């Protein structure tokens, strides 16, 4: 059943191969609904991320709102709050974030890529 080679490998984002997917749902990358919801999906984990959020992601980024330190891509904790858009995610939907451990500053992947 598994057809190797069709999936997309996003080692920074997820451990399994992801399938290109189009679904109108909240992404684990940011907890936002996006009107254009092209993304990648792992059916093993029911894990979905937006293409817009994860394409060309790097392990470290510099963010204009936190330019003193670089932010590192990490798994977010269960309850996530984005320090940029102030969205609270108590459902544990957001699974990924960029974070500065020194300052306890964290942003979801959407805000990391598209600063306000
Ligand atoms: Zn997203
Ligand atoms: Zn998976
Ligand atoms: Zn945000
Ligand atoms: Zn910092």
**2 C-alpha vs ligand 3 centroid, how far in Å?**
35
Q: How far apart are CA 20 and CA 54, in angstroms?
A: 12
Q: Answer for the pair 83, 71: CB distance below 8 angstroms, yes or no.
A: no
Which ligand number lies closest to the CA of residue 30?
A: 1
Residues linked to residue 106 through DSSP beta bridges, in sequence order: 99
- Residues 76-107 have pLDDT tens digits of 877 899 999 988 877 778 889 999 999 999 99
Q: Answer for the pair 78, 56: CB distance below 8 angstroms, yes or no.
A: no
Nearest to 53 by CA among 82, 77, 79: 82
Neighbours of ion ligand 1 (CB under 5 A): 27, 29-30, 50, 53, 110
Region of 32 on the Ramachandran plot (φ > 0 left; ψ -120 to 50 alpha; else beta): beta
30 phi, psi to nearest 5 deg: -150, -15
Which ligand number lies closest to the CA of residue 68?
A: 4
User: pTM of the prediction?
Assistant: 0.87
More confident call, 116 vs 36: 116
């Amino acid at each position: 059943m598994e057809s190797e080679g069709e999936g997309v490998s996003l080692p920074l984002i997820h451990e399994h191969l992801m399938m290109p997917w189009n679904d109108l749902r909240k992404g684990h990358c940011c907890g936002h609904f996006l009107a254009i919801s092209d993304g990648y999906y792992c059916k093993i984990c029911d894990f979905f991320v937006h293409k817009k959020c994860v394409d060309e992601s790097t392990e470290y980024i510099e963010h204009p709102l936190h330019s003193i330190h670089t932010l590192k891509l990490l798994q977010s904790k269960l309850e996530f709050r984005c320090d940029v858009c102030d969205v609270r995610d108590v459902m544990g939907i957001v699974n990924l974030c960029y974070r500065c451990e020194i300052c306890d500053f964290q942003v979801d992947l959407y805000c990391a890529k598209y600063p306000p």
